[in-house]
Amino acid sequence: MKQLTRIGALAGIAAALATTTVQAEEATVRVSGGWAVYPLMVVWADKYADVRDDVEIKVAGGGTGKGVSDVLNGQVDIGMMGRDPHEKEIEQGLFPTAVAKDSVVGTIHKDNPVFDEIQAQGLSEGDFEAIFTKKITHWGEVVGKDLDNDKIVVYGRSDASGAAKTWYKFFSKASQGEFQNIADANFNGDQPLAAAVGKEPNAIGFNNLNYAYNIETGDFAGNVRPIPLDLNDNNVVDPEESFYQDRRTFLDAVAEGRYPSPPARQVYLAGKGPYTGEVKKFVLWTLTEGQKYVGENGYVQLTNKTIDAQRRYVEGDIEATDR
């Protein structure tokens, strides 16, 4: 009887160990949110699997607003954010960590009726404000020409978009909701907006950088072209303002501060309260080993000082005010 009891106990231990092993194999980190971070997160999830094949990173988009809502409601472990966190979100327990720098660019079709003029003179903050509020309604007005079939088609985002908030903040104090009411159409996500601009020669929109350039080659994405900014409002794209020919050149301009913030901005991962367990390990990996994938995938790395502060914040070594 004692032998049978001993065998039964050993079997119970074996079963417990087997259960523990299965649980480890099925560890999952759930991520959702901003389309700005989405391409980088997909790369991170793939690379992390190479070093931790016992952890699955499940990634979904949906926009920054969805990511924040999902993480605060416990539906995901990490929310991706394409804008700075709001104080109200921090008060609700949001725990944001800056991981890279991205940019929003204005976009038009390569067959825009005044494409050559826009490439030569760029558009100023005032131009964008007039176009997106429909104070100017025809492309000919933008460059001082009398044209036919040149009515501007204004596109925006329908989701709670960090990119939209960042873009509108560049030239206006009005809310995303106000611009949504003015737009001819609004689209849920970066890809649908880029696709719409790529189909309509008279359209204007805006996109996170990796949707305006081909994510693999760094060249232009389909029919979509970024709009040069006329930062000094002199109706000329000066040499120091000319950096849109490919993604690498543009990223260098962001890193050097020649492209303004906004529309450039930090992007974040966020938890509800401090990260723990496998989620914490993954976030720390993005701030260490994972940083080598930032530049090669269309983002700008934050300074070593900033990344170190983010890591120490995640580790609990410093307060939020010091990161």
Residue 321 banded pLDDT, cuts 50, 70, 90: low
The reply to whether 29 and 44 lie within a common domain is yes
Residue 291: inside a domain: yes
Is the residue at 129 inside a domain? yes
- 284 and 223 co-located in one domain: no
239 and 316 fall within a common domain: no
Asked if 69 and 129 sit in the same domain, the reply is: no
Cα separation of 97 and 78, whole Å? 10
What global pTM score does this model have? Answer: 0.85
Could you tell me if 290 and 205 lie in one domain? Answer: no
Do 192 and 245 lie in a common domain?
Answer: yes
pLDDT score of 317: 86
Q: How far apart are CA 214 and CA 198, in angstroms?
A: 13
- Flag whether 260 is in a domain: no
Residue 186 DSSP one-character state:
E
Range of the domain at 177: 103-255
**Whether residues 148 and 117 fall in one domain:** yes
Q: Within a 10 A sphere around the Cβ of 242, how many other Cβ atoms?
A: 16
Percent of the chain scoring above 70 in pLDDT: 91
Q: How far apart are CA 228 and CA 124, in angstroms?
A: 9
Cα 271 to chain centroid distance, Å, stands at 17
Tens digit of each residue's pLDDT (9 = 90 or more) over 174-206: 999 999 999 999 999 999 999 999 999 999 999
Q: Would residue 249 count as lying in a domain? A: yes
% pLDDT > 90, the chain: 89
Asked whether residue 184 is assigned to any structural domain, the reply reads: yes
- For residues 236-264, give the mean pLDDT: 96
Residue 269 carries which DSSP code?
E
* Confidence check: pLDDT of 127 > 80: yes
Domain-ending residue, one of 255, 281, 304 = 255
Residues 71 and 154 in one domain: no
Are the beta carbons of 61 and 33 closer than 8 angstroms? Answer: yes
pLDDT at 158: 93
* Higher pLDDT pick, 19 / 233: 233
Given pLDDT bands bounded at 50, 70 and 90, which one contains residue 311? very high
pLDDT in tens, 68-99: 999 999 999 999 999 999 999 999 999 999 99
Region 207-236 average pLDDT? 96
Mean pLDDT across 208-221? 94
Confidence band, pLDDT 50/70/90 cuts, at residue 19: very low
The whole-angstrom separation of Cα 86 and Cα 277 is 26
Query: How confident is the model at residue 24, as a pLDDT?
Result: 45
User: Is residue 21 very low, low, confident or very high in pLDDT (cuts 50, 70, 90)?
Assistant: very low
* Residue 262 resides in a domain: no
Cβ-proximal residues to 154 (8 Å cutoff; 6+ apart), any chain: 131, 132, 134, 182, 183, 184, 203, 204, 205
Per residue in 135-154, pLDDT tens? 999 999 999 999 999 999 99
Considering the domain architecture, whether residues 126 and 183 belong to the same structural domain is answered as: yes
Same structural domain for residues 32 and 74? yes
Do 112 and 236 belong together in one domain? yes
Q: Evaluate whether residue 316 is within a structural domain.
A: yes
Instruction: State residue 215's pLDDT score.
Output: 87
Mean pLDDT of 131-138: 98
Is there a domain that residue 261 lies in? no
What pLDDT does 10 receive? 43
Whether 6 shows a pLDDT value over 70: the answer reads: no
Give the CATH number, domain containing residue 28. Answer: 3.40.190.10
Q: How many domains does the chain have?
A: 2
Residue 4 has what pLDDT? Answer: 39
Examine the fold and report which residue of 212, 227, 255 is the final residue of a domain before the chain moves on.
255
Question: What dihedral angle (degrees, nearest 10) is formed by the CA atoms of 214, 217, 219, 220?
Answer: -20
Among 199, 233, 255, which residue terminates a domain?
255
Which of 25, 27, 6 lies closest to 278 in space, CA to CA? Answer: 27
Band of pLDDT at residue 318, cut at 50, 70 and 90: confident
Residue 314 tokens read as 């995640």
Q: Are residues 276 and 184 in the same domain?
A: no
Average pLDDT, the chain: 92
